[in-house]
Amino acid sequence: MKALFPGTFNPPTLGHLEIIQRAARLCDHLVVAIGESPHKYAATFSVEERMSLLRALTKDMDNVEIISFSGLVIDCAKDLKVDFLLRGLRNGSDFDYEYQMAAANRQMTGIETVFLAASPLYSHLSSTLIREIAVNGHRLHGFIPDAIEAEVFAKLSTITK
Ligand code: COA
């Protein structure tokens, strides 16, 4: 089975990595797809930077591939012929948003979305929180994977508050 895990990953967090690790065990091939989402951010990390961060995190995972996409998730899913979409759920607010997206995506294509409940260790994390911590000069240990902490902190800590 082939699955697609779409997200913005601006930047990737320990929570994202945990979902990727668990998802990779549920399918033969996991495609992690970085949405360009121009409406959402004045991209702190470019698509290329997010791609490089995610590749560094998954370099030892043989069945994980990192790509980027623009437009709708379901068009990307159809192009790649994936069997299902995969998303993490941290809390009830995520559920409300995800329910709507999953229902619309299934209505348009019949493609199902499978949800993984985030570990309670990481359910409070978000990329916005992480950006705010580092922009104010605090290190990111315990929030994002150690392998990318220095690079992410270096970029964020130079951004003017
Ligand atoms: N651990 C930590 N943080 C997590 C997380 C986890 N397990 N799961 C989600 N998050 C955080 C992210 O860091 C992000 O935080 P931020 O908003 O502070 O930056 C937030 O939750 C949402 O992140 P993400 O899962 O990346 O979702 P998204 O809504 O940003 O992007 C896309 C999801 C990429 C699928 C979507 O927005 C997109 O681009 N869609 C294209 C258009 C489309 O198909 N729309 C649907 C039509 S029906």
Q: What is the mean pLDDT of the chain?
A: 94
Ligand 1 centroid to residue 8 C-alpha, Å: 5
Q: Looking at residue 135, what is its pLDDT?
A: 94
In this prediction the pTM is: 0.95
- Residues 84 and 95: beta-carbon distance below 8 Å: no
Q: Looking at residue 38, what is its pLDDT?
A: 62
Residue 40 token pair: 């959402």
Q: Measure the CA angle with vertex 104, ends 99 and 108; round to 5°.
A: 150
Query: Among residues 40, 55, 124, 139, which one is catalytic?
Result: 40
120 — pLDDT class (breaks 50, 70, 90)? very high
Residue 116 token pair: 């993984």
Check whether 133 has a pLDDT greater than 70: yes
How far, in Å, CA of 21 to CA of 11, rounded?
17
Check whether 41 has a pLDDT greater than 60: no
Pocket of ligand 1, candidates 73, 79, 108, 119: which has the most ligand atoms within 8 Å of its Cβ, to mutate?
73
How far, in Å, CA of 148 to CA of 110, rounded?
37
How far, in Å, CA of 146 to CA of 144, rounded?
6
Mean pLDDT of 92-109: 96
Residue 17's SS3 state is: helix
- Residues 65 and 29: beta-carbon distance below 8 Å: yes
Residue 115's SS3 state is: strand
How far, in Å, CA of 91 to CA of 114, rounded?
15
**90 flagged as catalytic:** yes
Between residues 148 and 43, the one the model is more confident about: 148
Mean pLDDT of 30-40: 84
**16 flagged as catalytic:** yes
Q: Looking at residue 40, what is its pLDDT?
A: 57
Mean pLDDT of 60-67: 98
Mean pLDDT of 40-65: 91
